[in-house]
């Protein structure tokens, strides 16, 4: 055992579990790629101010959970706690919005960091796949992103997730609701920190998960009752488009999520089998975020889906992913000449697209065949001096035990046929 262990609240991703994580990432990204979203990758850390402005100074993410530090040169940086602000910053920096083809559609995948209280499904280092459509205000775009996420979950075999949907209004109607909510909240029995939030962003109070606070919010005014006609119409179009696409959703008038940049369409995917950490992903429209971080007006919408929690949800449903075999063919050489010949054959198979491995270290036939079984391979290729003298190798089906000679020149083609 090593002297060192992974930091508290983090985890190492190792085989065989890592295969499921890779499959989930690929499945989530696939619908977005088919819809014209290109891949973007941003640094693991950004300037603190990017998140303070974008995510919101009153959010738990910024005030309590962000890993911030000063460089030797005095620059204030933070490990990225979420992806949207970074992706938008990268798009603005590269002037992608000036290319004349809006929206700019981007997807990303990576690790994110928050100083959370560790528990099942809640880590200080976690993995997400996200998609952002930058520079267009269109209910069809909102619906597209929701549908892409739903299709990703369905492609994995996930069935028991629920989609919660709400509208948070815009700069026209949000101030009216904000004032009404502040008036209500000021009359409640709340601690000093929560009272400060009332003045900075009262919607953050609605997102407070403490039972003592939630009990007092039962009669809080709802944003749906304060939407302007434009926001009502926009939200109704999103709802109609989702229904037409066969996407079931639940209207949740209290859904605000934990970030300050959301406007209008807001949504969250939950899986009740995960307990208190039931959210597996979510997103929404963020029409004012570009201006918050110093850019032009670029109405945008996007989502981030948690890889870790999606894996947990799949396990909760008992879904077995159809994962590609790490090894299809395992080569077992008997003797030095066979080592050279079979290693060349393994290289040929790999170049032909076959997952192949090799009995390294001069193992005896018994131990080598045990390794072949443990590798999960379907076929073993065994050869000794007599086989090579005859220009053949022995190909063994590890499931049935059947074995027979195959000419060296025909091994690659024969193996590919048997693996179909």
- Tokens of residue 349, six digits: 């198979």
Cis peptide before 294 (omega within 30 of 0): no
- Measured at the CA of 259, the angle between CA 254 and CA 265, to 5 degrees, comes to 55
Distance between CA 207 and CA 52 in Å, rounded? Answer: 18
Under DSSP, the state recorded for 124 is: S
Closest CA relative to residue 397, chosen from 417, 269, 386:
417
Q: What percentage of residues in the chain have a pLDDT greater than 70?
A: 99
Strands 250-251 and 76-79: unpaired
Distance of CA 351 to the CA centre of its chain: 31
CA-atom Rg of the chain in angstroms? 27
Q: Is 84 annotated as a binding residue?
A: yes
- Tokens of residue 87, six digits: 């992706």
Q: Is 262 annotated as a binding residue?
A: yes
CA distances (Å), origin 136, targets 32, 84, 100, 108, 126:
17, 16, 12, 19, 30
Closest CA relative to residue 303, chosen from 58, 40, 104, 106:
106
Architecture per CATH, 17-155+262-317: 2-Layer Sandwich (3.30)
Closest CA relative to residue 309, chosen from 351, 274, 359:
274
Distance between CA 377 and CA 46 in Å, rounded? Answer: 44
Q: Hey, which residues does 38 pair with through a beta bridge? A: 106
Closest CA relative to residue 185, chosen from 149, 177, 339, 301:
177
Highest mean pLDDT among 84-98, 172-186, 259-273: 84-98
Task: Name the segment(s) of the chain with CATH classification 3.40.50.800.
Answer: 329-419
Task: Name the segment(s) of the chain with CATH classification 3.30.930.10.
Answer: 17-155+262-317
**pTM, rounded to two decimals:** 0.90
State pLDDT tens for residues 364-384: 899 999 999 999 999 999 999
Q: Is 82 annotated as a binding residue?
A: yes
Distance between CA 124 and CA 110 in Å, rounded? Answer: 14
What is the structure's pLDDT at 203?
83
Q: Is 386 annotated as a binding residue?
A: no
Closest CA relative to residue 89, chosen from 295, 262, 284:
295
Q: Is 83 annotated as a binding residue?
A: yes
Instruction: Assess whether pLDDT exceeds 80 at residue 259.
Output: no
What is the structure's pLDDT at 3?
86
The mean pLDDT of 315-335, rounded to a whole number, is 92
Q: Are 59 and 259 in contact (CB under 8 A)?
A: yes
State pLDDT tens for residues 328-351: 999 999 999 999 999 999 999 999
Lowest mean pLDDT among 129-143, 199-213, 275-289: 199-213
Question: CA-CA-CA-CA torsion for 16, 83, 266, 102, nearest 10 degrees?
Answer: -120
**Exposure on the CB side of residue 5, measured as CA atoms within 13 A:** 5
- Measured at the CA of 345, the angle between CA 340 and CA 346, to 5 degrees, comes to 100
The SS3 of residue 257 is coil
Highest mean pLDDT among 119-128, 139-148, 367-376: 139-148
CA distances (Å), origin 382, targets 96, 332, 340, 343, 369:
55, 5, 13, 12, 9
Count Cβ neighbours within 10 Å for each residue of 98-112 and write b for 16 or more, e otherwise: eeeebbbbbbbbbeb
What is the structure's pLDDT at 58?
64
Q: Are 356 and 329 in contact (CB under 8 A)?
A: yes
The mean pLDDT of 116-134, rounded to a whole number, is 90
Closest CA relative to residue 280, chosen from 250, 310, 255, 318:
310
- Domain 329-419: CATH superfamily, name plus number: Anticodon-binding domain (3.40.50.800)
What is the structure's pLDDT at 119?
79
Count of CB atoms situated within 10 Å of the CB of 403 = 13
Q: Are 266 and 146 in contact (CB under 8 A)?
A: no
The SS3 of residue 201 is coil
Question: CA-CA-CA-CA torsion for 412, 415, 416, 420, nearest 10 degrees?
Answer: 180
Q: Is 71 annotated as a binding residue?
A: no
The mean pLDDT of 225-243, rounded to a whole number, is 96
Instruction: Assess whether pLDDT exceeds 80 at residue 258.
Output: no
Instruction: Assess whether pLDDT exceeds 80 at residue 2.
Output: no
The SS3 of residue 419 is helix
Q: Are 289 and 54 in contact (CB under 8 A)?
A: yes
Count Cβ neighbours within 10 Å for each residue of 48-59 and write b for 16 or more, e otherwise: bebbbbbbbebb
Q: What is the mean pLDDT of the chain?
A: 92
Q: Is 261 annotated as a binding residue?
A: yes
Q: What percentage of residues in the chain have a pLDDT greater than 90?
A: 75
């Amino acid at each position: 055992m090593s002297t060192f262990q992974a930091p508290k609240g983090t985890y190492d991703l190792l085989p065989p579990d890592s295969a499921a994580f890779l499959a989930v990432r690929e499945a989530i990204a696939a619908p977005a790629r088919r819809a014209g979203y290109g891949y973007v990758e941003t640094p693991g850390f950004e300037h603190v101010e990017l998140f303070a402005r974008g995510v919101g100074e009153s959010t738990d993410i910024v005030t309590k959970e962000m890993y911030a530090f000063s460089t030797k040169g005095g620059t204030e940086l933070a490990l990225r706690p979420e992806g949207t602000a970074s992706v938008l910053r990268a798009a603005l920096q590269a002037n992608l919005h000036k290319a004349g083809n809006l929206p700019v559609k981007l997807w990303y995948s990576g690790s994110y960091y928050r100083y959370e209280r560790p528990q099942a499904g809640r880590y200080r280092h976690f993995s997400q796949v996200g998609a952002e459509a930058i520079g267009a205000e269109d209910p069809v775009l909102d619906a597209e992103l929701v549908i892409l996420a739903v299709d990703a979950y369905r492609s994995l075999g996930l069935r028991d997730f629920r989609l919660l949907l709400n509208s948070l209004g815009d700069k026209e109607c949000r101030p009216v609701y904000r004032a009404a909510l502040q008036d209500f909240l000021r009359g409640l029995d709340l601690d000093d920190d929560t009272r400060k939030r009332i003045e900075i962003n009262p919607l953050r109070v609605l997102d407070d998960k403490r039972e003592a606070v939630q009990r007092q919010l039962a009669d809080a005014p709802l944003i749906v009752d304060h939407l302007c006609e434009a926001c009502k119409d926009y939200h109704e179009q999103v709802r109609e488009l989702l229904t037409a696409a066969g996407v079931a959703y639940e209207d949740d008038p209290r859904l605000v999520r934990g970030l300050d940049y959301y406007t209008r369409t807001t949504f969250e995917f939950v899986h009740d089998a995960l307990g208190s950490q039931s959210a597996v992903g979510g997103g929404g429209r963020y029409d004012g975020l570009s201006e918050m971080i110093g850019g032009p007006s670029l109405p945008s919408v996007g989502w981030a889906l948690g890889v870790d929690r999606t894996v947990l949800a799949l396990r909760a449903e008992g879904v077995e992913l159809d994962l590609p075999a790490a090894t299809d063919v395992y080569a077992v050489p008997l003797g030095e000449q066979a080592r050279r010949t079979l290693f060349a054959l393994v290289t040929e198979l790999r170049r032909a697209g076959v997952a192949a491995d090799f009995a390294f270290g001069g193992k005896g036939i018994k131990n080598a065949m045990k390794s072949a079984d443990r590798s999960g391979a379907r076929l073993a290729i065994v050869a000794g001096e007599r086989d090579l003298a005859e220009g053949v190798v022995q190909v063994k089906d590890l499931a049935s035990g059947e074995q027979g000679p195959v000419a060296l020149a025909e091994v690659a083609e024969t193996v590919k046929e048997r693996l179909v």
